Amino acid sequence: MTSAPLAARLTAVAGPLFFPVTAYGPDGDVDLVAFRRHVRAGIDAGAAAVFACCGTGEFHALTPAEFGRVVAAAVEETAGQVPVVAGAGYGTALAVEYAKLAEAAGADGLLAMPPYLVVADQPGLLAHYTALAAATRLETIVYQRDNAVFTPGTVVALARTPGIIGLKDGLGDLDLMQRIVSAVRTELPGGDFLYFNGLPTAELTGLAYRGIGVTLYSSAVFAFAPDIALAFYRALESGDDGLADALLDRFYRPLVELRSKGRGYAVSLVKAAVRLQGLDVGEVRTPLTEPPAAHVKELAQIIDDGRALLAERAVGGGA
């Protein structure tokens, strides 16, 4: 943990947000050596923040003890270079316990995932996240997706809650997001509430989200192809529409179309891709399953095509 507020550090990011996978050894146990290598590679490649034990990191599959060890390893490996945000979820009591484990491990903040199983009304959701934010000193980002979908009024109330600094959207309803952004801007003028595009391959919708003022995004691609993820990020930042469009056409769209071919591929494909790059992080834990060999071969080709495009651009001077 660093002394600088998480909100300030995330406002000033200069690169993608890195969501590392959780590594497992041949015996199925957490492999902290491989995980540290994965985190270090991401930091060295230019990650702006490390989100440990979140969706891509299989939060759902980790025991509390494993969770604490993995978050601590991420904190130790980053050594304050970038902030570390840890996942927290399930019902309120368990979410609070995970939050306390993250705080004890030295995390800088929390990504609050949806409550387990139940579909709550807006007052119940607000009470849940208010209790979670009050449980520790960690700044909290609320994750909208699945059974945690908020009205603009609820997000205004969340933005007023001490300790809650932002909303990550994994729903993809741009109409709702525009109304949320407008409501918070109207009710809390001059505020610094943060918004994140948290869709599984956020780059595909990056241009659309930027249109409503949401520029922060999580990059699953950064976990296995940071060169491609950074090239796209810089293209967006610099207004290089030609490169951004080319990467969307030749890399991101094919990747998303492959992701749609299997359940849980938002996690298992990422893990397979990390292994393709030479780091053995093990397989996903059940109930997720591994993609078949044909899909892994297709994945490898998509990555090769993305890198070929970058090489062509380098040779051609960016033309």
Stated length of the chain? 319
Do 51 and 21 form a contact (C-beta atoms < 8 A)?
no
Going by C-alpha positions, the residue among 45, 106, 62, 31 that lies closest to residue 277 is: 45
Active-site residue flag, 168: yes
φ, ψ for residue 140, nearest 5 deg: -120, 135
Active-site residue flag, 297: no
What is the spatial distance between Cα 213 and Cα 77, in angstroms, rounded to a whole number?
Answer: 32
Q: Which of these is catalytic: 24, 98, 129, 143? A: 143
**CA 143 and chain centroid, separation:** 10
What residue has token string 């959780």? 22
Single-letter amino acid, residue 183:
A
Q: Which of these is catalytic: 24, 168, 195, 217? A: 168
User: Which residues does the annotation mark as catalytic?
Assistant: 143, 168
